[in-house]
Amino acid sequence: MADNAKANRYALVTGATSGFGFEFSKLLAKDGYNLVLVARDEQRLMQITDDLTQTFMIETIPIAKDLFSPTAAEEIYTETKAKGIDIEILINDAGQGQHGNFIEYDIARDVDMIQLNITSLVALTKFYLNDMVARDSGKILQIASILGEYPTPYMSVYAATKAFVISFSAGLQNELKDTKVTVTTLLPGASDTDFFHKAGAEHTVTYREEKLSKPEDVAKDGYDALMKGESKITSGLKNKAYTAMTAVLPEGAKAASMEKQMQPSEKEKGRERITHGPSIEERERIDLKTGRENGDYNEHEDHVHKNENEGL
């Protein structure tokens, strides 16, 4: 049951249909916050909206938007303003990676990652932070990655986007020091989500051989830090050790270390699939939509190409 003190408070979560985003949504709902949930799969989004509304007796508003689109962030903000909703908590969770030699896959995938991981995140932060500062109240959680601290061969663009998130958020924290608005950065490590599936990285040493963090544990670490107004949190003891080493290792050594993790695994009986239920469902829906066994789809790009083919 919603806490009366939070009855009129709203939190917005991107990437809400699987992985960390799904777990953040549950934590917020359990704590009595009304939710604005953003994801691109409208059918899945409606299912989660109904489940959270009925389970936690809160208001849950779905906004089906594809954050690969340059206009999506402003459209989300415009829709919430039109509904008279003030966002007290913003969780910028949506993000993707791509495994592969930089020169061998399509530049469109890099542009998409930059749009999703950086541009849409910055835009949502800009829109909602203005309102938060105006009322001197609000919290933002930015989802980065421990790879943001490490140059990562074969995921070089993804790691660089997360380095941007870390630096961007640290700069904002200083700008906001005289306000009651906080920005928290969460650095997860490899986790039991559909990330590796979308990135085409299920053959790597990291996915096949390493222990993956539970999304619910990572989300709880980030949520607790957010509520305390902490500036930065690394989830998991092993990941804390990795980030601690960034202060002493030269860039070349860090890149060499990560290169080994991104190589194809030679282990015959390594991990073959994730276990996090909502992420499995998202993975299966993507496979069905694309007809492929790995990778992602981009509805915005598909729509553009469709229009181009039709001469529109």
Which residues are known to be catalytic? 158
In 3D space, the residue among 178, 195, 202 whose CA is nearest the CA of residue 265 turns out to be: 202
Quote the CA–CA distance of 233 and 243 in Å, as a whole number.
10
First-to-last alpha carbon distance for the chain, in angstroms, is 50
Q: What is the maximal distance between C-alpha atoms in the chain?
A: 57
Residue type, 137: S
Burial class (CB in 10 A: 0-12, 13-18, 19+), 249: middle
Handedness of CA 284, 109, 251, 233 (dihedral sign): negative
Report residue 242 as tokens: 């990795």
E-assigned strands of the chain? Answer: 10-14, 34-39, 60-64, 87-92, 138-143, 181-187, 232-234
Report residue 190 as tokens: 């490899």
Residue type, 131: D
